[in-house]
Amino acid sequence: MGSSHTRPRRLLLCLDGVPHKLIEQAKSRGLFNSFGAPSRLLSPFPTMTNVALSAMLGATPPAGYESLYFDRAAGELRGGIRKYLGRRTPDKIPSSYMDDLDYQEPLPFEFLIYVAPEKVWRADMQRFRERFRTAPQNRDYFAFLKATDGLLHAQGPDRLAVALESLDKILREIQEYCGEDTEIVMFSDHGMNLEENRRVDLSSTLQRRDFRVTIPAFGLCSYAAIYCHDTDRIPEVARASAEVTGIDFAIYKDAADVVLESERGRARIEYQPATESYRYAIVNGDPLELKGHADTFTTEALWFERTAGHRYPNALPNIYKSLFTPRVKHTADVLLSLKDGYYYGWTPFGRFVRLAATHGNALQASSNAFLMSTHRQFPQFVRADDAKPLLRA
């Protein structure tokens, strides 16, 4: 990140997985009192780190939604645990945003944060503090603290509160050391569903129905990506998935539309490129709870105005773009958003990690990241796609 001749130095600090709700609570306890009120930074669906940060920073899309992903050209799963072994090499960098990081934890710690979060977050914050102090003082600094995500996943909000107190002390020290001219912009990549979660019986259910699919299972997250071996059966797979306990909705492409299947009904999301307008066309029920706004094409700006604070933030554009915008290089045939309280992921991982919180779905808790500054006040809601000028200008 290069410095600017028209503004002071800036520290850009991303806290992985910290929801807007917990930053508001921290500020109510007197932490981060030099910052303005936190905005809700709306993470794109699926609400996953690399998907979110590539959108927020205008970077290249990652190969998949997680480190384990399905490569369509090769017809096989790639990545996974091997990504965390050895040193950080170009093939282990998921998106170009990582090229701009001045600080991130050592590669093996990315996995260890879920196994030993207490030790890792303490080491991570102190390492960041030391690296920042020794960095050149004439340019911006971009740091990414990932241990906060592992701390929330494994131990919940009470332990994160302790970590935020430590971070507050570090940032106060930085402000004293650098002076008032140094702006600190702090944000997160996604939020978090702060409740105990249980695994959905997805893969075995689809196998019993004789569907030939691949579902990458790695992190314990509240979304799932399905790749169908028989593309003619994509609608059937979506309908069957939506019937599984814990699945909130399933979406898939149908020509230029997105079809949404849910136990609450079926709807289509239609898009008009010429006017940048979306329509919520209900087939039956009201799966997104938008009945009052159905059946008319409405501009993306107006949808944002109406639904930024909705149960599904910025519902229509966000869900439509998850399939029609290259958020990842290998877009799923069917994307699932799980209900809060449910997850899908790697079974062995779930055996030694008590899942106190998770993220990935399109609901508020996971979608509402935060954004705040010591020098500026941002809008109440900021879309991920609109964040780059605020973060990098």
Percent of the chain with pLDDT strictly greater than 70: 91
Q: Is the pLDDT of residue 331 over 60?
A: yes
Q: Is the pLDDT of residue 11 over 60?
A: yes
Residues 132 and 35 placed together within one structural domain of the fold: yes
Q: pLDDT-derived band of residue 88, with 50, 70 and 90 as boundaries?
A: low
2 domain-assigned: no
CATH number at residue 147: 3.40.720.10
Residues 320 and 387 placed together within one structural domain of the fold: no
Q: Is the pLDDT of residue 112 over 90?
A: no
Higher pLDDT, 222 or 92: 222
66 domain-assigned: yes
3 domain-assigned: no
Residues 249 and 117 placed together within one structural domain of the fold: no
Q: Is the pLDDT of residue 4 over 50?
A: no
Q: Is the pLDDT of residue 204 over 80?
A: yes
Residues 233 and 259 placed together within one structural domain of the fold: yes
The tally of domains found in the chain comes to 2
**CA dist., res. 201 & res. 215, Å (int):** 12
Residues 27 and 136 placed together within one structural domain of the fold: yes
164 domain-assigned: yes
> What number is the average pLDDT over the span 262-276?
97
Residues 187 and 331 placed together within one structural domain of the fold: no
Q: pLDDT-derived band of residue 219, with 50, 70 and 90 as boundaries?
A: confident
Cα dihedral 81, 85, 90, 91 sign: negative
Residue count of the chain, please give it. Answer: 393
**CA dist., res. 146 & res. 17, Å (int):** 8
4 domain-assigned: no
pLDDT at 348: 64
Residues 119 and 168 placed together within one structural domain of the fold: yes
Residues 147 and 291 placed together within one structural domain of the fold: no
Percent of the chain with pLDDT strictly greater than 90: 75
357 domain-assigned: no
1 domain-assigned: no
**What is Dmax (Cα atoms) for the chain?**
64
Q: Is the pLDDT of residue 359 over 90?
A: yes
Residues 382 and 250 placed together within one structural domain of the fold: no
Following DSSP, what letter does each residue of 174-213 receive, concatenated? HHHHH-TTSEEEEEES---B-S--EE---HHHHHHTT--E
Residues 268 and 229 placed together within one structural domain of the fold: yes
> What number is the average pLDDT over the span 321-325?
97
Residues 344 and 215 placed together within one structural domain of the fold: yes
Domain that holds residue 335: 198-352
Predicted confidence (pLDDT) per residue in 20-31, tens digit? 999 999 999 999
Predicted confidence (pLDDT) per residue in 178-189, tens digit? 888 899 999 999
pLDDT at 106: 74
What's the pTM value of the predicted model, to 2 decimals? 0.93
Residues 307 and 330 placed together within one structural domain of the fold: yes
- Lowest mean pLDDT across 1-15, 93-107, 206-220, 302-316: 1-15
5 domain-assigned: no
Predicted confidence (pLDDT) per residue in 44-74, tens digit? 999 999 999 999 999 999 999 998 999 988 9
> Look-up: residue for tokens 């890792």?
120
> What number is the average pLDDT over the span 221-244?
97
